Amino acid sequence: MAIKLTLYSEAVAAGFPSPAEDYKEDALSLDEHLITHPAATYLAKASGDSMQGVGIFDQDLLHYHL
């Protein structure tokens, strides 16, 4: 099941209402942009703090493929 997210062509300011609504583009599929080999792509959650030195923290979602 693919999840489509909305991509804005310009930065979106926090708050209400959003002036970026005028710049909304087509939906962006992360599947199409991040997963080049679906049968060999995996997601996992990091556990522990041994990789904090390289920017991977406990409970981070990791994307990798074989």
Predicted pLDDT at 3: 65
Contacts of 22 (CB under 8 A, 6+ apart): none
Output 65 or 61, whichever has higher pLDDT: 61
Predicted pLDDT at 50: 94
- Token pair listed for 49: 């703090």
pTM of this structure: 0.48
* Model confidence at 30: pLDDT above 70: yes
* Model confidence at 55: pLDDT above 90: yes
Q: Are 28 and 8 in contact (CB under 8 A)?
A: no
Q: Are 18 and 6 in contact (CB under 8 A)?
A: no
The terminus-to-terminus CA distance of the chain in angstroms comes to 21
48 confidence band (pLDDT: 50, 70, 90): very high
Contacts of 53 (CB under 8 A, 6+ apart): none
